[in-house]
């Protein structure tokens, strides 16, 4: 049976805790570049890559609750990744968890589960 899973990775960058409202922060989780933003007191994680041309979102800004790409000014919902007005593909977003030892970001993956074992 094919199942969807989430692999959690601890964030080593402590700047995430001090991220101010409406500011963007680029950091990495493993080898993956991420863009963090805090809006309405809630922390969000997006791939630091605009789906339009692959440029970094972290150089952008927040406007009326949207993350704005600095290159072509496309707007993305930081919670869902949806592009405003459907002007391009959606940005990739990742779940976050606050645990005793810090923040964790979840990376989804698909695996084959057989005889109670995940095979890859």
Instruction: Residue 104: give its domain's CATH number.
Output: 2.102.10.10
Count: domains in the chain: 1
What tens digit of pLDDT does each residue of 24-40 get? 999 999 889 999 999 99
| pLDDT for the residue numbered 11 | 94
Q: What does pTM read for this prediction?
A: 0.89
Print the domain residue range for 91: 2-118
> How many Å separate Cα 6 from the centre of its chain?
14
| pLDDT for the residue numbered 86 | 83
- The CA distances from residue 77 to 1, 13, 25, 81, 96, in Å, are 33, 23, 16, 5, 16
As a whole number, the mean pLDDT across the chain is 93
Is residue 82 within 8 Å of residue 22, measured between CB atoms?
Answer: no
């Amino acid at each position: 049976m094919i199942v969807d899973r989430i692999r959690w990775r601890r964030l080593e960058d402590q700047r995430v805790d001090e991220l101010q409202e409406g500011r963007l922060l680029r950091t990495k989780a493993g080898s993956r570049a991420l863009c963090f933003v805090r809006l309405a007191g809630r922390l969000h994680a997006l791939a630091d890559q605009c789906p339009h041309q692959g440029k970094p979102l972290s150089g952008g800004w927040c406007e009326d609750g949207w993350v704005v790409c600095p290159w072509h000014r496309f707007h993305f919902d930081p919670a869902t990744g949806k592009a405003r007005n459907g002007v391009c593909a959606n940005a990739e977003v990742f779940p976050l968890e606050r645990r005793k030892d810090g923040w964790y970001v979840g990376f989804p993956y698909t695996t084959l589960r057989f005889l109670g074992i995940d095979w890859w």
